Amino acid sequence: MSRLVARAGSRNCQQSRSTAGVPELATIVAAGPFDDLEHAHHLAAMFIRVQQTCRTRMVLLGEGTRRGVVVRRAAERRLHTRLVLVDDGVGPLPTDQLAAADLVIPSPASTVSALAETMAAGRAVVTSASPAAAALVMPYSAGLLYTPGDVSAMTTAVERLLSHPELRGEMGIRASQAAQRHRLHPLRQWPDDLRKHA
């Protein structure tokens, strides 16, 4: 699995959008549910580490009992003003939030179908490595994978995509294409042992 994990890249952040000539903060969307305590701690640690090389904001899209962990840890570092909380069914549609992202981190609890719906927004993903996720994302094609529990690998993957706007743009296009293929043929190309994860 280690060969699937993101490799370090340039550490200079390059935002893809600007308003009135002023670059906006790079935007990471972390999609819920936020019910996994370990994942919440890893998200917070990644967000804090990324600030050392790139000023970003993070949208926590969805609800969950552990979402407050991310907020508290960010507040401890005075980064809570760079968090945006979006509850399910409140405010802009999730697709609007995803479309405004530079990259998306799906919940490790996401099904393959939910991951495909996220990828349909046309944004590169940084997702926890599993056989089913690898089959859909095709590492280094539509996104980057990190070994579950490895916050350093998650951080490296996020920094790599934030540092390379062309790469994340190309991955976003391929993510949308992979999602379309999944809609048309959700299980046809997968070995039997992967179908149970869909």
Q: Using CA atoms, how far apart are residues 77 and 88, in angstroms rounded to an integer?
A: 27
The phi and psi torsions of 72 (rounded to 5 degrees) equal: -65, -45
Can you give the pLDDT at residue 23?
55
Can you give the pLDDT at residue 10?
36
CATH number for 97 = 3.40.50.2000
- Confirm if 45 and 193 have CB atoms less than 8 A apart: no
Structural domain contains residue 194: no
Letter for the amino acid at 122?
A: G
Structural domain contains residue 189: no
Can you give the pLDDT at residue 52?
92
pTM of the predicted model as reported, rounded to 2 decimal places: 0.82
Can you give the pLDDT at residue 186?
57
- Confirm if 172 and 124 have CB atoms less than 8 A apart: yes
Per-residue pLDDT of the chain (198 residues), as tens digits, is: 333 444 333 345 665 554 444 457 899 999 999 999 999 999 999 999 999 998 999 999 999 999 999 999 999 999 999 999 998 755 555 778 888 899 999 999 888 888 999 999 999 999 999 888 998 998 789 999 999 999 999 999 999 999 999 999 999 999 999 999 888 765 544 444 444 444
pLDDT digits (tens, 9 = 90+) for 83-140: 999 987 555 557 788 888 999 999 998 888 889 999 999 999 999 998 889 989 987 8
Can you give the pLDDT at residue 177?
94
- Confirm if 104 and 79 have CB atoms less than 8 A apart: no
Can you give the pLDDT at residue 192?
41
Structural domain contains residue 160: yes
Q: Which residue's entry shows tokens 């993101």?
A: 6
Structural domain contains residue 70: yes
168: containing domain = 23-183
How many structural domains comprise the chain? 1
Q: Beta-strand (E) ranges in the chain?
A: 18-19, 22-23, 26-31, 56-61, 83-86, 103-105, 125-128, 143-146
Can you give the pLDDT at residue 110?
87
Can you give the pLDDT at residue 142?
94
Structural domain contains residue 147: yes
Q: Beta-strand (E) ranges in 47-116?
A: 56-61, 83-86, 103-105
- Confirm if 178 and 138 have CB atoms less than 8 A apart: yes
Structural domain contains residue 196: no
Structural domain contains residue 9: no
Structural domain contains residue 124: yes
